[in-house]
Amino acid sequence: MSSSRPDTGGGGSPWWQAAPFALVFVLFLVIPIALVLMVSFWRATEYELIPDFTIASYLDVFEGCSNLDELCTTFKTYLSTLKFCLLVWAITLALGFAIAFFLAFHVRTAGMQTALFIVCTVPFWTSNVIRMISWVPLLGRNGLVNQGLAAMGVVDKPLDWLLFSDFSVVLAFVHLYTLFMIVPIFNSMMRIDRSLLEAARDAGASGWQVLMHVVVPLSRTGILIGSIFVITIVMGDFVTIGVMGGQQIASVGKVIQVQTSYLQFPAAAANAVILLAVVLMFIWGLTRAVDIRRSCDANIHRSPLMRDTRRSAGFWALAGLFGLFVLFLYGPMIAIFVLSFQGPEGGLVFPMRGASLHWFVKLAEGIGVVDIWAAFRRSLMLGTVVMVLTVILSLMAGLAFRRKLRGGGVLFYLTVASLIMPSIIVSLGIGLQFRLLDSAVKMVLTALEQPEWLETYGTSMGLFTSALGAQLTWTLPFGLLIMFAVFNRFDPAYEEAARDLGASRWQTFRHVVLPMIGPSVVGVGMFGFTLSWDEIARSSQAIGDVNTLPLELQGLTTTVTTPVIYALGTATTVVSFAVILATLAAMAAFRRRGARARQP
Chain segment 208-265, per-residue pLDDT in tens: 899 999 999 999 989 998 999 999 999 989 999 999 998 888 899 999 999 998 889 9
Alpha helices for 298-422 (secondary structure H): 313-339, 358-365, 372-401, 408-420
Q: Collect all residues with Cβ–Cβ distance below 8 Å to 446 and sequence separation of at least 6.
A: 454
User: What's the pLDDT score for residue 113?
Assistant: 87
d(CA 257, CA 246): 15
Helix (H) or strand (E) run with residue 44 in it: strand 43-44
User: What's the pLDDT score for residue 24?
Assistant: 97
CB 348 within 8 Å of CB 564: no
Helix (H) or strand (E) run with residue 112 in it: helix 110-121
Q: Collect all residues with Cβ–Cβ distance below 8 Å to 565 and sequence separation of at least 6.
A: 133, 367, 553, 556, 557
Can you give the three-state secondary structure of 219-263, one letter per residue?
CHHHHHHHHHHHHHHHHCCCHHHHHHCCCCCCCHHHHHHHHHHCC
d(CA 182, CA 99): 7
Give me the amino acid identity at 307: R
pLDDT beyond 50 at 3: no
Q: With DSSP H G I counted as helix, E B as strand and the rest as coil, what are the percentages for the chain, rounded to 5?
A: 70, 0, 30
Half-sphere exposure of 349 (CA within 13 A, CB side): 14
User: What's the pLDDT score for residue 11?
Assistant: 47
Comparison of pLDDT for 89 and 68, the residue scoring more: 89
Q: Collect all residues with Cβ–Cβ distance below 8 Å to 457 and sequence separation of at least 6.
A: 438, 441, 442, 445
CA dihedral 416, 420, 421, 426 (to 10 degrees): 80
Q: In whole angstroms, how far apart are CA 35 and each of 27, 50, 467? A: 11, 13, 17
CA angle 575, 579, 585 (to 5 degrees): 145
CB 476 within 8 Å of CB 386: no
d(CA 81, CA 83): 5
d(CA 372, CA 547): 10
Angle, helices 466-489/423-447, rounded to nearest 10 degrees:
130
Comparison of pLDDT for 293 and 288, the residue scoring more: 288
Closest by alpha carbon to 543, among 430, 454, 388, 385? 430
Question: Helix (H, G, I), strand (E, B), or coil: what is residue 183?
Answer: helix
User: What's the pLDDT score for residue 149?
Assistant: 93
Question: What are the tens digits of pLDDT across the range 123-134?
Answer: 887 888 889 999
Q: In whole angstroms, how far apart are CA 421 and each of 19, 283, 416? A: 21, 10, 8
Question: What are the tens digits of pLDDT across the range 38-67?
Answer: 999 999 887 788 888 999 999 999 988 877
d(CA 534, CA 138): 23
CA dihedral 346, 348, 350, 354 (to 10 degrees): 20
| β-strand partners of 43 | 50
d(CA 121, CA 580): 11
Question: Helix (H, G, I), strand (E, B), or coil: what is residue 501?
Answer: coil
Q: Are strands 49-50 and 43-44 parallel, antiparallel or unpaired?
A: antiparallel
pLDDT beyond 70 at 12: no
Q: In whole angstroms, how far apart are CA 214 and each of 189, 439, 574? A: 10, 59, 43
d(CA 173, CA 96): 13
CB 220 within 8 Å of CB 279: no
- How many Å separate Cα 492 from the centre of its chain? 32
- How sure is the predictor about 121, in pLDDT bands with cuts at 50, 70 and 90? confident
Highest-confidence segment of 100-109, 168-177, 192-201, 203-212 = 168-177
Mean pLDDT value across the chain: 87
Buried b (16+ CB within 10 A) or exposed e, 253-278: bbbbbbbbeeebbbbbbbbbbbbbeb
Highest-confidence segment of 171-180, 207-216, 519-528 = 171-180
Comparison of pLDDT for 311 and 420, the residue scoring more: 420
Burial of 404 (0-12, 13-18, 19+ CB in 10 A): exposed
pTM above 0.75, yes or no: yes
Angle, helices 252-261/423-447, rounded to nearest 10 degrees:
20
pLDDT beyond 80 at 303: no
CB 184 within 8 Å of CB 298: no
Which whole number is the average pLDDT over 24-35? 96
Backbone dihedral angles phi then psi of residue 66, each to the nearest 5 degrees: -80, -15
